[in-house]
Structure 1
Amino acid sequence: MLIVEFEIKPDYADQFATLVQAQADNSLKLEPDCHFFMVERREDANNKFVLSEVYTHAKAFQEHLASAHFLDFDNNIADWVIEKNVRSIE
């Protein structure tokens, strides 16, 4: 499982919430090796988000990062991100 934590500039948090949910939906719909993709908005900090993602294998995650829908998402949010951390948990 991958955990991705985002801190977004407060003025863009609502827009990010919409785009990141669309990203999750697209990943599940378009990537057969994406089995789980959940977006949580932190209650204690409205501009912080936690993504939980499960892929069949590491190569599937690399394919996710190269997908058109991810690259579009990543490009759209680039200026909104204060901090992003990605970690893998077993």
Structure 2
Amino acid sequence: MFSLVVQMEVRPGRREEFLAGMADNAEAAVRDEPGCLRFDVCSVADDPHRFVLYELYTDADAFAAHKASPHFARWRRLAEQVLAGQVNTPGELLVTHTAEESA
């Protein structure tokens, strides 16, 4: 499985706009893309402008389909306005353990 960890820094005063746009992107990805298995948006303690995403796809082709989707295009337009920085770290899920229900 293809995994992606994304670190994002949001411009001051744009947090709520970021969260709304990111929630739309994440919800549409899980709902509309069969290859998107997980899309988590996490805050960073003690810094209201930093976030970490964890995304899980069946494979790299599923992630490419995500990047070609209309909701991702909407997100990228918004990201240009609200993000101060972004670092993407792609990888492969090797081991997972979970006892949680979906949020």
Give the structure-1-normalised TM-score.
0.93
Q: Secondary structure at the match of 2:47?
A: coil
Aligned equivalents of 2:91, 2:62: Cα separation in 1: 16
The number of aligned residues is: 90
In structure 1, list runs of 5 or more residues that go unmatched. Answer: none
Q: Structure 1 stretch 55-64 or stretch 71-80: which is displaced more?
A: 71-80
Aligned equivalents of 1:79, 1:28: Cα separation in 2: 24
Q: Percent identity?
A: 30
Q: Which runs of 4+ in 1 moved over 3 A?
A: none
When the two chains are superposed, the root-mean-square deviation of aligned CA atoms in Å is 1.0
Alignment of 1:14-33 (within 5 A): 14-33=16-35
- Report the equivalent of 2:100: none
Quick check: which one's helix share is greater?
1
In structure 2, list runs of 5 or more residues that go unmatched. Answer: 93-103
Give the structure-2-normalised TM-score.
0.82
